């Protein structure tokens, strides 16, 4: 695995302020202060036909497993002018926040995906984007803004690509120059603001060249082809999204974490392991001691809640977290005795 592909050069910028038109450049210093590593803007409209076709094929193949919400609101997903998004939309702002290694790795947190090692990123990104939305309204008094963080039927990574803040890798993740794929993104859709000039951007997977490191490293071979992840094979799907009482054996036997999976991100040659996390730390447990993975598997709801309240784990639900911890601890005991 080479950190630099032949014929490729990495951008020297950290905050991609040069993707913003002059009328929007005032957002760059504020975004930086709030912990974002990239911010861009794109004119509203429909997604490219290639992206729409990929989405339709993905749903038709059933690769979304039982996440039925992904198959709903198809027109809205492909068109930001749809009245269900924001009537009269003129611009979309996209920003990326680095989660890197997360805000902690103490105790059971080292078995949690880095993006969830802290206060729920949905909360963190929404709060920070709301600050930016207020700044937009101050600059453009007639503006109306709506903040999204996985909360609307919007093709977030496609719009991030079109905004110029990064590339889409074969894992399907957004890759931000100098940072890599370990970022979370959010959007502000605006009406009553200046429109954004169309800019030329890279095609999906172009940044990857011939690299297939993410596809090769996936323990369950869930990445079937560039940008296509079969959720029914994915560890993140089973440990975050699925509420089934049991994880299938052929999936559970590959679990080295109890919530999510970072494998495809950490092996990416564009990943920068020195990036600092912008996540807020998780709550301190009342007992003052961070629980172990064995504790999580056996403690009652009242105590477990103290450890995960306000985090993405709490949103997933305590029965699911306890299910995951038991499966993970079973594997961990096996590793320790080998």
- The 10 Å Cβ neighbour count of residue 159 is 23
Question: What whole-number percentage of the chain has pLDDT above 70?
Answer: 92
Confidence of residue 28 (pLDDT cuts 50, 70, 90): very high
> Residue 285 corresponds to which tokens in the numbers above?
């447990």
Encode pLDDT of 288-303 as tens digits: 678 888 889 888 888 8
- Identify whether 138 is a catalytic site residue: no
* Residue 287 pLDDT > 90: no
Encode pLDDT of 73-106 as tens digits: 999 999 999 988 999 999 999 999 999 999 999 9
Encode pLDDT of 162-180 as tens digits: 999 999 999 999 999 999 9
For residue 153, with 0-12 CB atoms within 10 Å meaning exposed, 13-18 middle and 19 or more buried, which class applies?
middle
> In the chain, which ranges are continuous DSSP H helix?
27-33, 49-60, 74-78, 121-139, 156-163, 213-217, 235-236, 249-252, 263-266, 293-298, 301-308, 312-316, 318-337
Question: What is the enclosing helix (H) or strand (E) of 97?
Answer: strand 89-98
pLDDT at 286: 62
Helix, strand, coil share of the chain (percent; to 5): 40, 15, 45
User: Which residue ranges make up each domain of the chain?
Assistant: 1-338
Confidence of residue 218 (pLDDT cuts 50, 70, 90): very high
What CA–CA distance (Å, rounded) separates 32 from 226? Answer: 31
Mean pLDDT score of the chain: 90
Of 150, 262, 280, 300, the active-site residue reads 150
Mean pLDDT on 127-146: 97
* Residue 2 pLDDT > 80: no
* Residue with the two structure tokens 């490293």: 217
Least confident segment among 46-50, 141-145, 168-172, 288-292: 288-292
pLDDT at 47: 92
Confidence of residue 334 (pLDDT cuts 50, 70, 90): low
Encode pLDDT of 106-127 as tens digits: 999 999 999 999 999 999 999 9
């Amino acid at each position: 695995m080479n950190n630099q592909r032949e014929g490729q050069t990495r951008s020297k910028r950290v905050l991609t302020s040069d993707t913003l038109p002059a009328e929007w450049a005032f957002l760059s210093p504020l975004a930086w202060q709030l912990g974002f590593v990239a911010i861009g803007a794109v004119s509203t409209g429909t997604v490219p036909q290639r992206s729409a076709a990929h989405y339709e094929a993905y749903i038709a193949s059933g690769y979304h497993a039982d996440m039925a919400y992904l198959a709903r609101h198809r027109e809205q997903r492909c068109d930001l002018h749809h009245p269900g998004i924001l009537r009269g939309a003129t611009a979309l702002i996209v920003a990326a926040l680095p989660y890197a290694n997360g805000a902690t790795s103490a105790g059971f947190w080292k078995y949690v995906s880095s993006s969830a090692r802290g206060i729920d990123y949905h909360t963190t990104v929404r709060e920070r984007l709301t600050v930016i939305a207020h700044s937009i309204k101050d600059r453009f008094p007639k503006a109306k803004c709506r903040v999204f963080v996985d909360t609307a039927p919007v093709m977030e990574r496609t719009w991030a690509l079109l905004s110029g803040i990064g590339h889409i890798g074969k894992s399907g993740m957004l890759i931000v120059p100098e940072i890599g794929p370990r970022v979370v993104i959010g959007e502000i859709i605006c009406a009553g603001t200046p429109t954004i000039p169309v800019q030329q951007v890279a095609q999906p997977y172009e940044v990857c060249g011939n690299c297939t490191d993410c596809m090769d490293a996936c323990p369950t071979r869930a990445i079937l082809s560039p940008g296509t992840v079969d959720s029914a094979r994915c560890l993140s799907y089973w440990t975050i999204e699925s509420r089934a009482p049991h994880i299938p054996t052929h999936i559970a036997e590959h679990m080295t974490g109890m919530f999510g999976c970072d494998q495809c991100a950490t092996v990416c040659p564009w990943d920068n392991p020195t990036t600092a996390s912008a996540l807020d730390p998780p709550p301190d447990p009342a007992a003052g001691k961070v629980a172990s993975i064995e504790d999580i598997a056996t403690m009652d709801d009242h105590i477990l809640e103290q450890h995960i309240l306000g985090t993405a784990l709490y949103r997933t639900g305590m029965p699911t977290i306890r299910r995951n911890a038991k499966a993970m601890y079973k594997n961990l005991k096996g590793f320790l005795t080998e």
